[in-house]
Structure 1
Amino acid sequence: MIRLIYTLLMSALAVFVCYSMTTRAWLQTDLTELLPQSSQDTVLQAAEHAGDAQINSQIILLAGSPRPETAFQTASEIADLWRQSGIFSEVNSQISPDLAQIRQDIGRISLAVLPEAQRRLLTEKPADYFRQRAEDAVNPFAVSPLPLDEDWLGFGRFVAGKINPQTRLQWHPENGMLFNEDNGKTWVWIRAKLSDNTLPQDALGHLFQKTQTLASDRHTEILTGGGALFAAAAKADAEKESRIMGFAGITLTVTLILWVFRSARTFWLLLPSAAGMLAGLAAALAVFGHIHALTLVIGTSLIGMLVDFPLHWLTPSVFSSWQAKPAMKQVLPTFAVSLLITVSGYALLWFTPLPVLQQTAVFSGFSLLGAFGATVCWLPPLFARYQAKPVPFAALSTILGRHIKKQPPPSFRYPATGFLIVFTAVGLWRSNWHDDIRQWVNMPPGLLSQIQKIGTLGGTDFSGQYLVAEAASEDALLLKNAELRRALAPLIRQGKLKGIQSLDQFILSAAEQNRLKQHLRTIADKPENYRALHELGIPEDTLKSALLQAADTPAITLSDGIALPLAQAWKPLYLGEVEPHRYASVIRLNGMTDPETVRKTAETVQGIKWADKRGRLNELFRHTRNQAAWLKLSSYLLAWLLLWRLFGARQGGKILAVPIAAAIGTVAVLGWLGIPVSLFAMFGLLLVSAIGIDYAVYALNAGHSTDARLGGMLLAALTTGISFAILAFSGTPAVAAFGITVGIGVILNLWLAARLMYSVPDTQHPRR
């Protein structure tokens, strides 16, 4: 009856998984999906979300060639290819300005964006300002967007310098493209925006293959950057890595099992692994609606661990007479204890604030439950008539047992013990408990170098460190930006900061505009101030009227100024009214050589906050890692209470000593290898503890001979070790550290559990 219920349940889970995979995006690759909900200030959250949205929705491409005409032609063809793809809502390769609209906007905003030097000259030495204006008016080479009769005062001359703060980019008047020159090569810029928040990663990958082919045919180099590209590459790498590691793990595990048992029937031993993976995937999809690629990569490593139950059950068959159902009844209590303790340890991880740990805990916990059910319900009938063959593994296990059981002489034992103590102590001292978000993803070196070069060509800093200003009004926000710029000015002179970009560099506050207009009224009453223009033949009444008209123009607010097409480059800096009476903006920092000094100096200005997403995440990971460690210590206490209840305090203490010693030894080895104990390494330690309890309970309480028990642990350790050793070759540093940690822990657990087993007389465990 139980077998039927379990079979129906697994069938339902299979249908659910198939339905989920075909009807929704079940695999996530976005790194932000792994991160907890932010508890930081609302203003900082708004800045972070705005930055992420811009990065994830925008793709930049640069086409470069020593021949400018080739670069422009290739960029134009790529832009046409992108528009035809239907992936992007916008592809900006050319700027075709509406001159009439631009002139209107310039006339409207010119006074509000007047540079500081010109404002000072106008207010302190107005005659000098108008003398310069007169010189420009008669200079045939002077460039001005407005004719003289539309801009008597000359304010429009300076708007162009405010439109694009990235002065490295130039506009080609013939084709309307943006470009810049670097080391004899012309780079043409294309910006594209994805049509929605979903990432068409497969289509994007195919499009960029066509783009690369087109550029190669034109002998043009291209550089690309954008969050969607990294996500597409991460998805492709994760799927490829998961397939390779899963295939390698299954192949090596099957090969090992066939070598040990010499029977095709042992293929059924993989059935619990398949059932476990199905149960884990179904649970993750039911709880979270999706599963992250990183969780799936780690989940494939469970294949070796999920086969532990059937191996512990079947391995004694090569050492003595064996029958399926009685053997299952004999090991079932041991399995139940190991399962309860291990799943309880995973359950505690649910209380960590990190979704990746919650996902992995759900996936792993339900995988173990599924594998346990398949082992108990399905395997006994499948092996009802199984007869073991004489195999070399039995002799190998016996020989290994003799070496482990043999006590070395005191002359060797005491120095060896001292060496182990010193080795462990120094390793623990050398251990580096450190996290870095960059270890969580396999950053393709090609894409990484391209985005760095794009930053260099465009003068953009991608460090992820910036400042956020907040104030009670738009005017107060602009004044706060200006105050910050004054505070950071000494650092720019000292070379600790190359420059900053803030909204006050673009537009004046309404109060400053009004003060400037008052000066214009004063100037209008004194014709000697604008005599230089009058000498060109311009009537004084015309000039006075222009001054008074400018003085009477309503002030341009920050939000109105940012809304103009001319202000496209400044829009990302303005966050708007985040909360009632809380206006916020971003201040970009370029070329920091001493971030800590910049942070301390900036925070002396009230209302300024330092934003460092990577640093914040690393601190969050550190906190989560410590929390996970305390939860694991709590699980040790719960495990000891359970073991004490089942086996007594003395034997329960011995069982628990195995995973604790293995975890300490693993940290020591990581210290010697120079591998940081990151959050994922900590999760590996949690798995090491679960494996240690499983081995120790089996070693002391399974009713088999010591050789049979050692054989069961050895085979389980080999299959588990295979899976996690494969992870050590992952291109993602966090996953590799996880695999190395568990691999080391498995070896230590096997040795410690075997030593514990041989320390108990074999007569306590009746032979079958």
Structure 2
Amino acid sequence: MKFPRILYTLLMAAAAVFFAYTLAAKPWLQTDLTALLPQEARPDVLLQKADAVLEKELNGQVVLAVGSADADTAFQTASALARQWQASSVFASVQDTLTPDIGGLRGEIRRLGLALLPSEQQTLLRDNPRAYFQVRAEDAANPFAASLLPLSDDWLGFGRFAAGKGQPQSRIRWNADNGMLFTEHRGKTWVWLRGRLPEGAAPDEKLLKLLDDSKQTAAAQKAEVLYAGGAVFAAEAKTSAEAESRWMGIAGMLLTFALLLRVFRSARVFWLVLPLGAGVLAGLAAALAVFGEIHVLTVVIGTSLVGMLVDFPLHWLAPAVCRPSEKSVSDGLIQKPVWQADEAMRHVLHGFLISLAVTVSGYALLWLTPLSVLQQTAVFSGAALLGAFGATVYWLPPLFRRYHGRDVPFGRLMPPLLAKIHALHALLKKPAAAVLLLILAAAGLWRSDWRDDIRQWAAMPPALLEQARQLGELGGMDFGAQYAVVEAADEDGLLERSAAVNRVLQPLIRQGALAEVQSPDQWIAPQQTQRQLQRHLRALADKPETWQPLAELGVPPKTVQTALQEAAAQAPVSLSDGLKAQIAEAWRPLYLGQVETGRQAAVVRLGGVKDAVAVRTALAGMNGVHWADKRTHLNQMFQETRNQAAWLKLASYAAAWLLLWKIFGTRKGVKILAVPLAAAAGTVALLGWTGIPVSLFAMFGLLLVSAIGVDYAVYAASAAPPPAVRLGGMLLAALTTGISFGLLAFSGTPAVAAFGLTVAVGVVLAVLAAAVLLDEAV
């Protein structure tokens, strides 16, 4: 084995060099929560573009509001925090004041005035022009009527409505004295700040520290802060996942080696760190080589492999303590060591190879799922098992050649424990007990809840969720993940279609099923509508009786007539041109532009959706309108992925049976395969009885349970040592695996916790099921 040992060592050295180079050359840890999402086989480019735009807007900025009962305190504290943010290296830009180019803004309003005229004003001007000009005259005579344009630049009053359109969230106001945006709510003044992250920057603990410092600065001024943004949740998820990975890895290592020291009573067990290290190194190097990066959730799950990676060496070492020595007949009373490292390895190597082939092939099938985190975990886990196997076979025997087993309490416990397990099996063979067990299992399977929820995939601190809710209430920005996407052949068709959506949804707003709608047609009128208005203005120029109120105010008739003619002669403004104005900033994210040839697209935002079914039903059947409910859509995709993984696992069972049939024959192959099937079914039944949903990650746990079950079954049915010794090997492996996955059950991420709990329960059932095969002949 000298040459294979040298070759394996060289491969691990190359993996170490590659991993070190990758760490130094580029960022390798992925923290973006959207990277966890399944990839659709044939995604609609329109919906994909809409999602990307909205995600960029959500994840690329952090919004903060400073509140105080004293307005001056709120404004001063906000200014201090803005300076603090600007001094940090966290944000690429910080917006604390809005200082528009007044001259340029007035020019834009003069140019866009007619195009931005609200639909109700268009109707009034068209159907009852005298009433329109009566209101215009009253506003002109009112010294408190706010307008950016002087009367001489806006005789017709079109510019009166532009400022309001620039701020669709009406609860947010602009302070002309300091240029800051603020909201008055329940006796407090809330001042708004917005920080934009550098393009492509990954949020980390620096952002969280800055926000914590901001909170302390505000508290010192007797003010309070609220903040939200996708980057905040991503940074929190990354920090908590890294902390979990650290403490779970350390705790798993300490508990595992504490157990091994207790059992083997020798410091040599610390050599088992070699399979662990080799496995983790091989897994990381393989994942980085294939994907170029690793998601933090893959790392968290990877730390749980600590227990599995020592299964091979524990099966090999178990006879050393469960049957340390025996008296030789030829040597009389001289005790001759039974366990010898190289000979023991030869006894278990055949079973190791079978288990490795079945388990790695099972992981390989996960590559076919559309979920990147499962693909990464499959590559990581498969490579890690191969690395741990190589270290066990090639590195450990020379290090344990001088190790001799000893009589320890763990070994003495195995024969009576085996007797109890046999008694349990005998009890379950009785018809009454077997029927009761089958009824309980069937009821648990019937009660099982197979569903997924994207909210379970990340730890969402309730405090952050509450702050996001409060900010939405303060700013009137309660736009969730449900929206509509409209498409048309050109920009005018897009505006007309979004207006149709707006009209259809108005009854739902009155019924309370929906709070508000924000659509591009609320910003600007189609060019065709503008031309119609212009023709009407030309006609009004020759009808002085319609604008008589302005004449009564003292405006010369010639001036009004000229203003009407000039407005009628202006070039119509397109949607894309109208969004270039500085006052259009709040509306730009709605316009997606040309996503494909002949496909213009825009988003219609929906706020405060109370009855999604009613909204979706209202939009159903509208040509060129697509309903987008991201959470529901993702949950459906997770369900499809989970089902696909289940079918793949069934395929892996078929492949495993063929391999087992070839090696062990039909009868024994079926018995071995029955162990993982029984463990997986029993786990689902227990989840059903406890009310824990069988999510995608729980499904992945079941796949791992199946792999562990095959490992234990092959070892129980084919290894050379006596039954009590094989039980000791399985029990040691189960305890170390249970430690690792049991720790995952305490994860703050519900999906990871369900994964850990599923595997921990499944391991117990796999040991009990595999123990049936202990009396099988080799």
TM-score (norm 1): 0.97
Evaluate the alpha carbon distance shift between residue 729 and residue 473 of structure 1 in structure 2; reply closer, same or farther with a 3 A threshold.
same
1:598 aligns with 2:601: no
- Aligned pairs for 1:381-400 (under 5 A) are 381-400=398-417
Question: Which of 32, 35, 42 is equivalent to 2:34?
Answer: 32
How far 1:698 moved relative to its partner? 0.6
Question: Which of 11, 17, 22 is equivalent to 2:13?
Answer: 11
Q: Which amino acid aligns with 2:721?
A: H
* Residue in structure 2 matched with residue 514 of structure 1 by the alignment: 531
Q: Which amino acid aligns with 1:303?
A: V
Evaluate the alpha carbon distance shift between residue 224 and residue 251 of structure 1 in structure 2; reply closer, same or farther with a 3 A threshold.
same
Q: Which amino acid aligns with 1:496?
A: A
- Aligned pairs for 1:439-458 (under 5 A) are 439-458=456-475
How far 1:49 moved relative to its partner? 0.4
- Aligned pairs for 1:664-703 (under 5 A) are 664-703=681-720
1:733 aligns with 2:735: no
Question: Which of 152, 156, 160 is equivalent to 1:157?
Answer: 160
Distance in 2 separating the partners of 1:41 and 1:624: 18
* Residue in structure 2 matched with residue 620 of structure 1 by the alignment: 637
How far 1:594 moved relative to its partner? 1.1
How far 1:478 moved relative to its partner? 0.5
Distance in 1 separating the partners of 2:420 and 2:146: 90
Q: Which amino acid aligns with 2:538?
A: R
* Residue in structure 2 matched with residue 132 of structure 1 by the alignment: 135
Distance in 1 separating the partners of 2:658 and 2:145: 87
How far 1:186 moved relative to its partner? 1.2
How far 1:276 moved relative to its partner? 0.5
Q: What do residues 319-339 of structure 1 show as CA deviations (whole Å, max 9, x unaligned)?
A: 142100000011000100000
Distance in 2 separating the partners of 1:709 and 1:592: 60
How far 1:79 moved relative to its partner? 0.7
* Residue in structure 1 matched with residue 591 of structure 2 by the alignment: 574
Distance in 1 separating the partners of 2:20 and 2:460: 31
| Equivalent residues of 2:520, 2:591 under 8 A apart | yes
1:122 aligns with 2:139: no
Question: Which of 308, 311, 324 is equivalent to 1:305?
Answer: 308
* Residue in structure 2 matched with residue 463 of structure 1 by the alignment: 480
Q: What do residues 36-73 of structure 1 show as CA deviations (whole Å, max 9, x unaligned)?
A: 33432111111000011111111101111111111111
Distance in 2 separating the partners of 1:501 and 1:122: 24
How far 1:700 moved relative to its partner? 0.9
Identity among equivalent pairs (%): 57
Distance in 2 separating the partners of 1:409 and 1:534: 106
- Aligned pairs for 1:324-403 (under 5 A) are 324-403=341-420
Greater displacement, 731-740 / 100-109: 100-109
Distance in 1 separating the partners of 2:729 and 2:708: 13
Distance in 2 separating the partners of 1:565 and 1:164: 12
How far 1:512 moved relative to its partner? 0.4
Q: What do residues 688-727 of structure 1 show as CA deviations (whole Å, max 9, x unaligned)?
A: 0111111111111100111101110111111111111000
How far 1:387 moved relative to its partner? 1.2
1:292 aligns with 2:292: no
* Residue in structure 2 matched with residue 20 of structure 1 by the alignment: 22
Q: Which amino acid aligns with 2:639?
A: R
Question: Which of 576, 591, 594 is equivalent to 1:559?
Answer: 576
* Residue in structure 2 matched with residue 94 of structure 1 by the alignment: 97
1:54 aligns with 2:57: yes
Distance in 2 separating the partners of 1:635 and 1:132: 76
1:227 aligns with 2:244: no
* Residue in structure 2 matched with residue 638 of structure 1 by the alignment: 655
Distance in 1 separating the partners of 2:427 and 2:379: 48
Q: Which amino acid aligns with 1:343?
A: V
* Residue in structure 2 matched with residue 481 of structure 1 by the alignment: 498
How far 1:497 moved relative to its partner? 1.5
How far 1:409 moved relative to its partner? 7.2
Evaluate the alpha carbon distance shift between residue 536 and residue 756 of structure 1 in structure 2; reply closer, same or farther with a 3 A threshold.
same
* Residue in structure 2 matched with residue 271 of structure 1 by the alignment: 274
Greater displacement, 725-734 / 101-110: 101-110
How far 1:144 moved relative to its partner? 2.1
RMSD of aligned Cα (Å): 1.4
Q: What do residues 542-594 of structure 1 show as CA deviations (whole Å, max 9, x unaligned)?
A: 11111111100111111111110011111111111111221111001112221
| Equivalent residues of 2:428, 2:434 under 8 A apart | no
Q: Any gaps of 5 or more consecutive residues in structure 2?
A: 325-337
* Residue in structure 1 matched with residue 674 of structure 2 by the alignment: 657
Q: Which amino acid aligns with 2:523?
A: F
* Residue in structure 1 matched with residue 247 of structure 2 by the alignment: 244
Distance in 2 separating the partners of 1:502 and 1:193: 24
Distance in 2 separating the partners of 1:324 and 1:144: 90
SS at match of 1:188: strand
SS at match of 2:184: strand
Evaluate the alpha carbon distance shift between residue 147 and residue 406 of structure 1 in structure 2; reply closer, same or farther with a 3 A threshold.
closer
How far 1:200 moved relative to its partner? 4.8
Evaluate the alpha carbon distance shift between residue 79 and residue 690 of structure 1 in structure 2; reply closer, same or farther with a 3 A threshold.
same
Distance in 2 separating the partners of 1:269 and 1:408: 34
| Equivalent residues of 2:79, 2:96 under 8 A apart | yes
How far 1:493 moved relative to its partner? 2.1
SS at match of 2:623: coil
1:42 aligns with 2:45: yes
Evaluate the alpha carbon distance shift between residue 647 and residue 97 of structure 1 in structure 2; reply closer, same or farther with a 3 A threshold.
same
How far 1:408 moved relative to its partner? 7.3
SS at match of 2:553: coil
Q: Which amino acid aligns with 2:741?
A: F
1:756 aligns with 2:773: yes
Distance in 1 separating the partners of 2:552 and 2:754: 79
| Equivalent residues of 2:425, 2:772 under 8 A apart | no
Distance in 2 separating the partners of 1:624 and 1:36: 8
Evaluate the alpha carbon distance shift between residue 10 and residue 409 of structure 1 in structure 2; reply closer, same or farther with a 3 A threshold.
closer
Distance in 2 separating the partners of 1:564 and 1:368: 59
Evaluate the alpha carbon distance shift between residue 412 and residue 619 of structure 1 in structure 2; reply closer, same or farther with a 3 A threshold.
closer
Q: Which amino acid aligns with 2:496?
A: L
Distance in 1 separating the partners of 2:205 and 2:363: 34
Q: What do residues 159-213 of structure 1 show as CA deviations (whole Å, max 9, x unaligned)?
A: 1221111001111111111111222121111111112212252432332232222
Distance in 2 separating the partners of 1:407 and 1:741: 23
Distance in 2 separating the partners of 1:195 and 1:341: 46
Distance in 2 separating the partners of 1:22 and 1:615: 40
Q: Which amino acid aligns with 1:307?
A: V
Question: Which of 433, 440, 450 is equivalent to 1:423?
Answer: 440
Number of residue pairs matched?
Answer: 761
Evaluate the alpha carbon distance shift between residue 86 and residue 273 of structure 1 in structure 2; reply closer, same or farther with a 3 A threshold.
closer
* Residue in structure 1 matched with residue 71 of structure 2 by the alignment: 68
How far 1:603 moved relative to its partner? 2.3
How far 1:86 moved relative to its partner? 3.4
Question: Which of 208, 211, 230 is equivalent to 2:211?
Answer: 208
| Equivalent residues of 2:171, 2:475 under 8 A apart | yes
Question: Which of 751, 754, 764 is equivalent to 1:747?
Answer: 764
Distance in 2 separating the partners of 1:599 and 1:553: 40
* Residue in structure 2 matched with residue 316 of structure 1 by the alignment: 319
Q: What do residues 328-385 of structure 1 show as CA deviations (whole Å, max 9, x unaligned)?
A: 0110001000000000100111111111110000000000000000000011100001
SS at match of 2:601: strand
How far 1:421 moved relative to its partner? 0.8
Q: Which amino acid aligns with 2:750?
A: P
How far 1:446 moved relative to its partner? 1.9
Distance in 2 separating the partners of 1:3 and 1:144: 83
Evaluate the alpha carbon distance shift between residue 227 and residue 525 of structure 1 in structure 2; reply closer, same or farther with a 3 A threshold.
same
